[in-house]
Structure 1
Amino acid sequence: MSRLKEYIYDEKNGLHYTLNGDYYIPDLKLLEEHRSIGKYGRMHQEYLREAHPDRLNTLILTGELWTYLADLNEQAQERLDTIMEQMKDAEGVTEELKRTRQMEWVQRCNNIHNRAKEIVLHEMIYL
C-alpha cells in the first residue's frame, strides 16, 4: 500500500490540502481584519442573526463578515455625523448658543443625536 502525501495542491481550484487521517482537508485561511466592528456593526450582526440567518451564514462562510460589519459601522458613523451637522445647521444649534446657553445647547444636541441615530438605524442597520 502506498503512503499518501502529507500535503497536496489542486491546480483546478488553487487550494492546498493537508492530509488528516484518511482525508485531505483544505488549508483555508481567513483574511485578517484589524478594524473594529463597533456598535453599529454589532447591532447589524444581531439583526442578521435574528432576521436573516442565511445571509449571516454566507458572510461567515465566505470570510467576509468582519470586513462587511467594519465597513457598515464606519459608514453608519459617518452618516450619523453628517445628519447631525445638517440638523444643527437647520435648527440654529451654534457655538454661540453653546457659549451663551449651555443647558439648552446640550438638550438640543441630545435631541438631534437621538433623531439622527433613529434615522441611521432605520436606513442602515435594520434594513
Structure 2
Amino acid sequence: MPSETVYARMHKDYLRKNHPEMYRELERSGELLEHCRRRGQEAVDHSDSLEAQMMTSPNLPKDYMARVRELESIPLIVEEIVLHELIYSL
C-alpha cells in the first residue's frame, strides 16, 4: 500500500494536471502542501480501515483456496477505492 507521502504526491499531481486553477490558488495561498498532506493522511486512514473490514468480513469464502485468492486481492481493491474516492477527486 502506498505511504502517506505517495498518496499526497499523487493528489498533488492530480490537482496540477486536472484542476490547475485550484492548484495555483492553493499554491498561492501557501495551503497546497498542507491540503495534499491531509488528503494523503485521509487516504492512509481510509485504506487501513477498509482493509481491516474486508479482511474480517464474514462473507469470505469457506473454501481455502478461494479464501486465499480473496484475501490476496483485498489490498488491490482497497487501493482502487482509495484512489477513486480520495486521491483522484476534489
TM bracket, shorter-chain basis: 0.7 to 0.9
TM-score (norm 2): 0.80
Is 1:114 aligned with 2:76? yes
Partners of 1:106 and 1:43 in 2: CA distance: 30
> Taking structure 1 as reference, are residues 58 and 118 closer, same or farther at Cα in structure 2, changes over 3 Å only?
same
Match of 2:51 in 1: 84
TM-score (norm 1): 0.58
Partners of 1:37 and 1:55 in 2: CA distance: 21
The structure whose residues are more often helix, as a share, is: 2
Question: In structure 2, what residue type is equivalent to 1:54?
Answer: E
Q: 5+ residue gaps in structure 2?
A: none
Partners of 2:70 and 2:7 in 1: CA distance: 23
> Taking structure 1 as reference, are residues 83 and 47 closer, same or farther at Cα in structure 2, changes over 3 Å only?
same
Q: 1:32-43 alignment to 2 at 5 Å?
A: 38-43=5-10
Q: CA deviation at 1:121?
A: 0.6
% same residue: 35
Partners of 2:80 and 2:70 in 1: CA distance: 16
Q: 1:24-63 alignment to 2 at 5 Å?
A: 38-63=5-30
Q: 5+ residue gaps in structure 1?
A: 1-35, 98-102
Question: In structure 1, what residue type is equivalent to 2:8?
Answer: G
Number of matched residues?
84
Larger RCO, structure (CA 8 Å, separation 6 or more): 2
> Taking structure 1 as reference, are residues 37 and 111 closer, same or farther at Cα in structure 2, changes over 3 Å only?
closer
The structure whose residues are more often strand, as a share, is: 1
Compute the RMSD of aligned alpha carbons: 2.3
